[in-house]
Amino acid sequence: MIFKKISSSSILEIEYFDEVATGLGPTLEFFTLLSHEFQKKNLNLWVDRSSHESVIVDGKELCYHPSGLFPRPSLQNEFEGNDNMKKLLYYNFGCFIAKAIVDQRLIDVHLSNPLIKFLLGEPLTIYSLNEIFPEICQVIKDFNEIVNMKNQIINNDLLTSEEKESKINELTYKNAKIEDLSLYFVLPGLDIPLIENGDEILVTINNLEEYVNRMIQVITKESINQQMDAIKEGFNSVFDSKRLRIFTPTEIDTMIYGSSESDQEWDKETILENTICDHGYTPNSRAIKYIVEIMSEFTSEERRKFLRFITGSPRLPPGGFKGLSPKLTFVRKEEEPPFKPDNYLPSVNTCFLYLKLPDYSSKEIMKENLLKAIEHGQSGFSLS
């Protein structure tokens, strides 16, 4: 309920107890942490494909779907009552997404196209949900073809009743008769009854059309209505979703989730063109050559951790490094005798996007100390 108390016109800024930093960095970190809380697998809020690609962030197992977040279909009696916790979580998630857009904060949440389109007022269809439920949608399409063939046979006046019955009985799905598939009136893979006592009613060629129609009705409306409506209600309580209709779903997802992680955005030329060297460093400095090479060689996971260390968010804004405001700035971290640069870890000022780099003696030592600082800096703002 926290978001109901925040007007859409007020900018949310976060400060943590016992940490040295305030302002943009901790605020982006808050949005990132909250992103992960909403995606925790044990909440059972989202369609989850994490069995194909396990996602563990900050010790939390998160839901994952290659097409982005989409509410998990559920029996609608799970949402009865005004104080229903699941419904409240979906509502607050909608508030959270809208607040991120209003405050121009990146969040670590990839929204699916069907969810974005729903927020924009478009109805859900089997075709739009194909990327979320590919197996179910394919079954519906295949069975619908069989239903159409059956109806063509029934409407063929050139056939006798016996011939019609014979041809209908010859209709198969992958060389098997429908009744031999051991299907019941339950949504495949989700255990949601399509009709009362659906788990006891066998699907046959005679009731296949009803089965297909009920699957469409349940997967596009009945099993997700309340989840989707709660998200939209929460979103609109902060920001009118109709005002986003000038953008495409891809543009909206980029606005929320940030830039795509293309290798081109992380090449040496792009990094140099869109960063600043100051306070002891120039583009020709040895340390700058090292850091640019190291950044261009980062793995995808190292990129996420580096960005979170620098900005508080694990993703680049729209436009990549060019979109960072203020610009990422490399400055020299001075050593105090008798210590040498190699004895220090890099540190950051997240509000001004300053990466404070000692003048390390080698690229290898810089990378080792940078990765060590990044790991230490994931859980707080203690390296000033």
CATH classification of the domain holding 171: 3.30.2160
- pLDDT attached to residue 384: 47
Same domain, 250 and 192: no
Same domain, 275 and 247: no
CB 224 within 8 A of CB 86: no
- pLDDT attached to residue 378: 65
- pLDDT attached to residue 356: 96
CATH number of the domain where residue 111 is located: 3.90.1750.10
Which residues, in sequence order, are bridge partners of residue 349? 354
Which residue from 144, 102, 103, 148 is spatially nearest to 127, judged by alpha carbons?
Answer: 144
- pLDDT attached to residue 242: 93
Beta strands in 34-150 (DSSP E): 55-57, 60-62
CB 321 within 8 A of CB 271: yes
Whether 365 shows a pLDDT value over 70: the answer reads yes
Cis amide leading into 326 (omega within 30): yes
What number is the average pLDDT over the span 361-381?
86
- pLDDT attached to residue 252: 94
What number is the average pLDDT over the span 358-378?
92
Residues annotated as catalytic (active site), given as ranges = 351
CB 322 within 8 A of CB 259: no
In tens, the pLDDT along 267-321 reads 999 999 999 999 999 999 999 999 999 999 999 999 999 999 998 889 899 889 9
- pLDDT attached to residue 50: 75
Whether 37 shows a pLDDT value over 90: the answer reads yes
CATH number of the domain where residue 284 is located: 3.30.2410.10
Count of the separate structural domains present in the chain: 3
Residue 149 amino acid letter: M
Same domain, 269 and 205: no
pLDDT band at 16 (very low <50, low <70, confident <90, very high): confident
Same domain, 8 and 117: yes
Query: Is 129 within a domain?
Result: no
Same domain, 198 and 232: no
pLDDT band at 78 (very low <50, low <70, confident <90, very high): confident
Phi, psi of 331 (to 5 degrees): -130, 155
Query: Is 355 within a domain?
Result: yes
By residue range, what is the domain housing residue 206?
134-222
Query: Is 184 within a domain?
Result: yes
